[in-house]
Structure 1
């Protein structure tokens, strides 16, 4: 059992090491909202979200106040909109109306983000999927809180390269649609291989169709706590290093378990999972790159960085799974460049490159995340970057993702400021050589041979 005594020892972590519960996310099924009438669909969506999540923000604030652990974000994820909107949406503009209904609901309940403007096209696209994808630039430009994710591949099905090509184009269109705000729309758009149904983190959260009517998923954090612990064992053996990270992850995850159980009880909603991912913020000292530095790298990106990240990810999982009855989501270490001050610094001085980040994604939780690139990057190049990352996920049977921001009107070395948790960074250079002939082949990359296990 988790009790408040276990939280007492975390006081130091909260006060000086940036420990927090990054998010309480309520997943809500919208399958019973489906109807052929668009107006009725939008009304059903608004009503169900606002009724089920009306107390989410206040309960999160109450729990944070009572136990003394900051709960930074309260979020909602919903059934992929391409499924829910299929009977009623017959144009991209119809899906923009759905996004507007989701936005109104998010504003009413006061959450900071709502995820699930999504489609699952890893093996092919329905007409509804394609309409939603075509609506993304306009939908993200017109809304503030809505996040979109598209699944393009999986270990079981391979990679839909037609969809990969289209999404490279949609990333550019979304950047253009929000160019007056440093192309911020792309910060709310992510593509996946092997996405999870219970991820509480944005922009990739959606409520999977195998989930119940509603559920509470909690994402914990604490890079600053791990960094402090690792700094105390400098020069010690890898065994000592691993044990230190594992024990620290256990303590962090216990906090998440406590918050998840309490939120579940007060919101009368089943507890789903604790995602024990180490999610950084732009705050000084709350950085994955700082942990890697304490492990022995001069800067994140130096030789040895991938091995260090592999250690970190593995030990976080080993510690976390002992601390919670249900661990899920992504669980590990995120490496978003703009959201991690020290990661952004490493990128700005050239210690961390796009290619090194790609190598690191082989062993971290997700993938190429929150990376600002030049605004004139061709759509085919973005599709190539996506294809590389999807291949890593497919072959390695892990979740990978791409969230890149081609900042219109800016070039490598320029700076962007997205604000809040989205952070800031300098724009990273992209390999200038083309891949259009590869991307334009069309069709599907087959699943790897080791996927056939049934």
Structure 2
């Protein structure tokens, strides 16, 4: 059992080191909302989310006051909408009506994001999947809180290159639709390989079809806590370094476990998982890049960065899994450029490139995340970058993702302000050479030989 002593032990981490619970995410199955009538689907979706989520924000606030633990976000994840709307939606515009309903109910229950405007197309696309994907630019331009994701590949199925090509075009179209806001729509759109069913973090959260009717998932975060702990062992050997990260991750995850158990009890909804990812914010001292610097790098991106990140990720997992009954989601270290001041500094110092970030993907939680690129980047180039990331995930049996933001009207050297947790980002250069003939081949890249384990 978790006791109040453990909570008091975290006071210093909360007050001085930016420890927080990044999100309580309520996962809701909408499979029982499927109907052949679009009007009925919208009604059922609205009513079910309203009923289950009406106390989510107040519950989070209660826990925050009771234990003094900051809970930054309260969010909702739902069954991929391509499945929910398949029987009723005949056009992309039909799916947009569902996006509007999701946005309305998210606003009314008070959450900051609702994730699951999604399609799972790792092996092929149904007509409904394709319609949803084609509706994404409009849906994200007319909503404020809806987040969208598309899973394009997996270790078991390979990579759906038709969907990869389409998503390059959709990302660019989303950028155009929201160009008056510096292409902000792309910050709410992520593509995956090996997407998990229980991820509480946006923009990639959705409620998988293997999940219960409703579930509480919690994402914790404490880059500042880890950095401060490592300052005390500066210059020590790797054994001491690893033990320090493990012990710190254990303490951070225990806080998340407590919040998850309390939220589950108060709402009468089962506890799902703790995602023990190190998720940075733009706040000074809340940076994964600064942890890498404390480990011994001048900047993130210097030689040794991938090794340092691999060490960090592994020790966070080893410490975290001992602290919670159920660990899931992504669980590791996030390296979003715009949301991490240390990453931004590394880009501005020319220490960190798109290619180095891709290499770091091999050992971290997600991938190329919250990266601003020139607005005139070709759709085929975006598709090629997505394919590279999917290949890393597919071959290494891990989750990888891409959240690129081609900022219309901006070029290398410009800076883009997204605001809030999304931060700001320097526009990064992309390789100018074409991959169009590769992307246009069509079909599927087969699953790797080690995927055959039956």
| TM norm structure 2 | 1.00
**1:151-230 mapped onto 2 (5 Å cutoff):** 151-230=151-230
User: Is 1:62–2:62 an aligned residue pair?
Assistant: yes
1:2-151 correspondence to structure 2 within 5 Å: 2-151=2-151
- Correspondence 1:284-303 to 2 at 5 A: 284-303=284-303
1:182-331 superposed matches below 5 A: 182-331=182-331
Taking the aligned partners of 1:401 and 1:409, their CA distance within structure 2 comes to: 25
Q: Over residues 250-287 of structure 1, what are the superposed CA-to-partner deviations in whole Å (9 max), with x where a residue is unaligned?
A: 00000000000000000110000000000000000000
Aligned counterpart, 1:383:
383
Listed as ranges, the gaps of 5+ residues in structure 1 are none
Query: Which stretch shows the higher mean deviation, 343-352 or 182-191?
Result: 343-352
Q: What whole-Å deviation, never above 9, does each CA across 1:187-244 have from its counterpart, x for those lacking one?
A: 0000000000000000000000010100000000000000001111111000000000
Runs of 4+ with deviation above 6 angstroms: none
In the alignment of these two chains, the number of paired residues is 454
Shift of 1:4: 1.6
Q: Could you tell me how far apart the structure 2 residues matched to 1:82 and 1:381 are?
A: 26
Q: How many Å separate the matches in 1 of 2:414 and 2:433?
A: 21
Q: Report the Cα distance in structure 1 between the residues aligned to 2:129 and 2:255, rounded to whole angstroms.
A: 38
C-alpha distance after superposition, 1:156-214 (max 9, x if no partner): 00000000000000000000000000100000000000000000000000000010100
**Whole-angstrom distance in 1 between the partners of 2:413 and 2:225:** 31
> Does structure 2 conserve the Cα–Cα contact (< 8 Å) formed by 1:348 and 1:425?
no
Give me the whole-angstrom Cα distance separating, in 1, the residues matched to 2:417 and 2:170.
Answer: 22
Mapping of 1:354-433 within 5 angstroms? 354-433=354-433
CA distances 1:282-327 after superposition (whole Å, capped 9, x unpaired): 0000000000000000001000000000000000000000000000
Q: For 1:4 and 1:338, how far apart are their aligned partners in 2?
A: 36
Deviation string 1:397-451 (CA, Å, 9 cap, x unpaired) is 0000000000000001100000000000110010111100000000000000000
Distance in 2 between residues matched to 1:348 and 1:132, nearest whole Å: 37
Distance 1:169 1:349 in 2: 31
User: 2: distance between equivalents of 1:68 and 1:78?
Assistant: 29
1:348–1:428 contact (8 Å) kept in structure 2: no
Q: Residues 221 and 277 of structure 1 are in contact (CA less than 8 Å); yes or no, is this contact kept in structure 2?
A: yes
The one-character-per-residue Cα deviations of 1:43-86 (angstroms, maximum 9, x if unpaired) are: 11010001100000010011011101100000000000000000
CA distance in 1, matches of 2:173, 2:327: 36
Aligned partners of 1:274, 1:133: CA distance in 2, in Å? 29
| CA distance in structure 1 between the aligned counterparts of 2:30 and 2:235, rounded to whole angstroms | 53
1:218 touches 1:273 (CA, 8 Å); kept in 2?
A: yes
What is the DSSP-based 3-state SS (H/G/I as helix, E as strand, rest coil) of the residue aligned with 1:371? strand
Offset of residue 3 of structure 1: 1.6
Measure, in 2, the Cα distance between the counterparts of 1:5 and 1:117.
Answer: 41
User: Residues 138-167 of structure 1: CA distance to partner in whole angstroms, max 9, x if unpaired?
Assistant: 000000000000000000000000000000
For normalisation by structure 1, the TM-score amounts to 1.00
SS at match of 2:434: coil
Structure 2 gap segments, 5+ residues each: none
Which aligned pairs between 1:328-367 and structure 2 lie closer than 5 A?
328-367=328-367
What is aligned with 2:446? Answer: 446
SS at match of 1:299: coil
- Structure-2 separation of matches of 1:359 and 1:141: 32
The whole-number CA distance in structure 2 between the counterparts of 1:37 and 1:118 is 20
Q: CA deviation at 1:16?
A: 0.8
CA contact 1:251–1:323 (8 Å) conserved in 2: yes
| Cα distance in 1, alignment partners of residues 185 and 449 from structure 2 | 37
CA distance in 1, matches of 2:2, 2:333: 24
SS in 1 for 2:32: helix
Residues 368-421 of structure 1: CA distance to partner in whole angstroms, max 9, x if unpaired? 100000000000000000000000000000000000000000001100000000
Distance 2:385 2:88 in 1: 34
CA distance in 2, matches of 1:62, 1:3: 18
Deviations 1:14-42 (A, max 9, x none): 01100000000000000000101111110
Hey, what's the Cα distance between the residues in 2 that align with 1:271 and 1:2?
15
